Structure 1
Amino acid sequence: MNIKHYEIEIDEEKPFANCKLERQKYSSVLTNIINSYSYGFVLAINNKWGTGKTTFVKMWEQDLKNNGFQTLYFNAWENDFEDNPLTALMGELKTLTTKDTEPKFKKTLKRASALTKNIAPIIAKAIADRYINTEGIKDAIVGVTKGLSDVFENEVLEYDNKKKNIYEFKQNLSEFIANTNDGKPLVFIIDELDRCRPNYAVSILEQIKHFFSVPNIVFILSIDKVQLGNAIKGVYGSESIDANEYLRRFIDIEYSIPEPDVAIFYNYLYDYFQFDDFFQNSDRISHRELKHDKSDFLETCKLLFTNSNIPLRQQEKIFAHARLALRSFTTNMCVTAHIFLLLTFIKIRHNDFYNKLKSKELSIEEVQEKFSSLIKIEINEDTIRQLMFIEISLVNIYNNFFKERYHRRKLIELDKNTGERKALIPSVFKENSEKEVLGILENINYGFRQGDLDLSHYVNKIDLLEKLIT
């Protein structure tokens, strides 16, 4: 049984064979863009963290290789231990060298080393100015690298030489690329740029712009633009910086992968985490009141995940936690799948609400309002019955938990005038719904005999406070 979602295996011959989000069509669009503008540009794939960008770009990279492109994949987050991104980027390019192209690469590398010459004294002085107040100590630190006057004089003398080095570096790089790609552009993918150190991320952008803007290199930046924008503001120490305008200097084309169909992904996660091993266990489905757990679970997925914009990675976390907690239940124990999934969802996504439920801080009306605020799906004839059923089920277990049996708030009473039972609370999803609420409460208490369960029956297992069954 899986309790963690591992990276999807990428088949070399059919890289999108294991893609469950039907994204191959987007890779075709992006490859066509590269074919149409092969001279060189920077393309940003902009989606929020946790939406599967890394998996997509790795599948696309393999697809590009299968179509005759030279590619490089560079994870900026894993490599931000290197102070100078130029070192790391050149290190990636070195992997393309052959016996024939190695001389060209060595010339390029020599020019690259010249670009970083004599910057250490300036950096040392800048750090000293910022963090050290004593001038004597400051000068001593800088003096270890080079005298201050020597630094300034050297920089003036080196200015023209640096301009030439940049030009020659780009020329040599262009020639090296031309000899390695058989007429097709090199596709250089930079992933996780928004997760690495802010100054490292900005330095990569700057060096791509100034040193690597040569023919036949296409840079693919896999980013969360909002997070990268925050990094830029942090580096420059100002919230007033227009991060979007700053990024336009570097990005020629921006593309966002469309959100996948919600049902495709939650059905995939249901299968991946092997929920059927529990819900469809032959012993379990022999009990009439337990055999609908699978359909209840998946229908609740639809209500919670549709239109919610929940990152795929967080959906994975909800499913993984739910599957682990499910191991606290025996095969013939009542799970009430819709409530179990709802509470797991609330724990992961709305932990403050979850803790208030556990600490009995809310009234029944507040519980109903909080629950309704979570629902983003359109409320119509097809959804309202199920929403009301989950809402009243949540109210029932919370009310049972709130106080001892004989001190609980009554949800049903006998009408003295008519002799009929009536519900004492309406649903927040429908006005004048007491009659329908009564039907739900009677169903819970007398139909499936789950009426005496309280919140602790679920949260103790969800919080992993009970022994797992192996």
Structure 2
Amino acid sequence: MKIKHDANDIVIDVTNPFVNCKLGRKQYADILTNIVSNYADGFVLAVNNEWGTGKTTFVKMWQQQLINEGFTTMYFNAWENDFEQNPMAALVSELSVLKDKNSAKIFKSVIEKGAVLTKNILPQLVKAIVSKYVDTGVLLDSIENTAKGATEIFEAEVKNYTSKKESFQEFREELTKFIASSEKKKPIIFFIDELDRCRPDYAVHILENVKHFFSVSGIVFVLSIDKVQLSHAIRGFYGSENINADDYLRRFIDIEYNLPAPNTKDFCNYLYDYFQIDSFFNTPIMLKNKYIGNKESFITVSSILFEKSEATLRQQEKIFAHTRLALILFQKHNLIFPDFLIILVYCRVCVPEFYIKLKQKKLSANELLIEFAKIIPINIPNDKIRYFIHIEALLSLMYNNSLPNGIKIIIENNSTDNSNIPFKSCIDRTDDNRDFIRFLQNILNDFNNELYNYNIAFLLEKIDLTESVKI
């Protein structure tokens, strides 16, 4: 039984990397492969999408596809390595996989030149110079010596700068030779993932290193980022909210690519199967009741909600996972309304204000339907709106059943002329709320006695996991 979606569960087939991709993203990998193939001189490409949109899985699938096509690749997870204080050393270390007996000498030279760049010798020089003018910890009282010491310190700074400038050029030259020694016509693809989750200082230093030290012919850097989050890190590093992070990042990123949103319904079908939701709905009590709903209504409701609200893939996974966990708390004889259940979990994750009002029973019958209508997407196709009207009817009945005499009033006033129903649908488009009333009557007729045992708290306790698991 799975109660958490793990990207590591997605098997990346060595021969066909995208065969298990449920988001149809191979076409985008092909586009990007064409780009990196035609600009082999080296550049920085950013794959920019929000957190939770499947960038890491895409990058790893694309990496395997590139390997299959004869590219040399390397993958560096910046977030997992931000304990390291020297990002330059980490990046050079990744390049060491290219080393062979023919290029070992050149790589050693790369290491030596890089060592000069990363070693800050100025403090030691200053300390040595100052010590010449210090006697037992007290500066000599001599203006001449003080001026002389300041001059030597400044000269040391100039020498340090000159040395680093020369080493910088030498490092790039040796790195270019090392990359060229691989004797491959295709560029090396260097993936840097989760840069936006690092310590702000580490993220900035990675960017600076990539741009100034590693931007040589033959290397294409692919940064997998959420630019909004990375911008926050940049502002945090420089201690100012006034920094134009977009302009700053343009200095480092040559091409920016956004993965298009996947087909939501396809992804919902995948999550439905992944979490084995069907096993809970194919029980005798579920199968005999035609108004409870089924996989079709479950997928339709969830996909419309996710698409219209622009829920991230990670939010969608979380909602399905939480629904799966809540289902464990139902007993075999319990009625389960699948589409109603997932819309409540959706509210808990994405619309917590409404969910809290449900729990606290602070809404009147009409206020409930007004608030519910606010979270339902507008312009739902006419052939799909019935699913939401059915949920609205269930919500009305179960919520009122949690109020004193609530459902009793509804049952007593239920009639064919609809005139005595104490509330009106806010999403039914038919005259006189005809569909809404029909659903109310059907539910009451089918579950008259059982509904007395089902109120909104019955479901919310399971969603909040406050009820013990019964086996």
Q: 1:263 aligns with which of 253, 262, 265?
A: 265
State yes or no: 1:364 paired with 2:386.
no
Structure 1 match to 2:348: 347
Any conservation in 2 of the 1:279–1:291 contact (CA below 8 Å)?
no
Q: How does 1:318-467 map to 2 (within 5 A)?
A: 318-376=319-377, 378-401=379-402, 403-405=403-405, 410=410, 413=413, 422-430=420-428, 433-449=432-448, 451-452=451-452, 453-467=454-468
CA distance in 1, matches of 2:387, 2:414: 26
- Deviations along 1:18-37, one digit per CA (max 9) or x if unpaired, are 11111111100000001111
Q: Which amino acid aligns with 1:441?
A: L
Match of 1:3 in 2: 3
SS of 1:246's partner is: helix
- Name the amino acid aligned to 1:427: S
Q: Which residue of 1 aligns with 2:224?
A: 222
- Identify if the C-alpha distance between structure 1 residues 149 and 221 changes in structure 2 by more than 3 Å, giving closer, same or farther: farther
**Aligned partners of 1:359 and 1:260: how far apart in 2?**
37
Q: Which moved more, 1:20-29 or 1:301-310?
A: 301-310
CA 290–382 in structure 1, closer or farther in 2 if over 3 Å, else same? closer
Give the 5 Å matches for 1:190-339: 190-281=192-283, 283-289=284-290, 292-339=293-340
8 Å contact 1:233–1:241 — kept in the other structure?
yes
Which of 2, 13, 16 is residue 14 of structure 1 equivalent to?
A: 16
Alpha-carbon distance, 1:406 to partner: 6.4
- In structure 2, the partner of 1:156 is 158
Flag the 1:348–1:119 CA change in 2: closer, same or farther, 3 A: farther
In 1, are the aligned partners of 2:400 and 2:406 still within 8 Å (CA)? no
Q: Secondary structure at the match of 2:420?
A: strand
8 Å CA contact 2:410, 2:422 repeated in 1: yes
- Using the TM superposition, give the Cα deviation of residue 161 of structure 1 relative to its aligned residue in structure 2, in angstroms: 1.3
Of structures 1 and 2, the larger Rg is shown by 2
Distance in 2 (alpha carbons) for counterparts of 1:151 and 1:182 = 47
Structure 1, unmatched stretches of 5+, are 126-135, 137-146
Distance 2:150 2:73 in 1: 43
- Assess if the C-alpha contact under 8 Å between 2:122 and 2:160 holds in 1: no
Query: Is the CA contact 2:292–2:338 (under 8 Å) kept in the aligned structure 1?
Result: no
Aligned residues: 445
Task: Name whichever of 224-233 and 41-50 sits farther off.
Answer: 224-233
Q: Name the residue aligned to 1:129.
A: none
SS in 1 for 2:413: strand
Kindly indicate whether the alpha-carbon contact (under 8 Å) linking 2:85 and 2:202 is maintained by their aligned counterparts in 1. yes
Q: Give the TM-score, by structure 2 length.
A: 0.88
Q: Shift in Å at residue 182 of structure 1?
A: 1.0
Which range moves more in the overlay, 324-333 or 105-114?
A: 324-333
CA distance in 2, matches of 1:437, 1:292: 16
Check the 8 A contact 2:172/2:214 in 1, yes or no: yes
- The SS at the match of 1:422 is coil
SS for the counterpart of 1:307 is: helix
User: Structure 1: how far apart are the matches of 2:407 and 2:23?
Assistant: 50
The answer (yes or no) to whether the contact 2:400–2:407 under 8 Å persists in 1 is no
CA contact (8 A) 1:262 1:302 kept: yes
**Which SS does the other structure have where 1:194 is aligned?**
helix
Whether 1:175 aligns to 2:181 is: no
1:151-175 per-residue CA deviation (whole Å, 9 max, x = no partner) reads 6543221111111100010000011
**Change over 3 Å in CA distance of 1:200–1:284 after alignment to 2:** same
| 8 Å contact from structure 2 (residues 49, 259) kept in 1 | yes
- 1:95-174 alignment to 2 at 5 Å? 95-118=97-120, 121=123, 152-174=154-176
Which residue of the partner structure matches residue 142 of structure 2? none
Change (3 A) 1:286 1:46: closer
> What SS is found at the alignment partner of 2:455?
coil
In structure 2, the CA distance between the partners of 1:150 and 1:237, relative to structure 1 (3 Å rule), is farther
Contact 2:428/2:436 (8 A) holds in 1: no
Deviations 1:418-455 (A, max 9, x none): 98753232211246544433222112211344643211
Partner-residue secondary structure (3-state), 1:245: helix
Cα distance in structure 2, aligned partners of 1:406 and 1:208: 65
Distance 1:188 1:309 in 2: 31
CA contact (8 A) 1:53 1:222 kept: yes
* Alpha-carbon contact 1:42-1:250 (below 8 Å) kept: yes
Deviates more, 1:294-303 or 1:247-256: 294-303
Instruction: Name whichever of 285-294 and 10-19 sits farther off.
Output: 285-294
Percent identity of paired positions between Structure 1 and Structure 2: 47
Q: Call closer, same or farther: CA 1:191–1:119 in 2, change over 3 Å.
A: farther
Report deviation, 1:316.
0.8
Answer whether contact 1:38 1:184 (CA < 8 A) is retained.
yes
Could you tell me how far 1:414 is from its partner in structure 2?
Answer: 6.7
Q: How far does residue 390 in structure 1 lie from its aligned partner after superposition?
A: 1.4
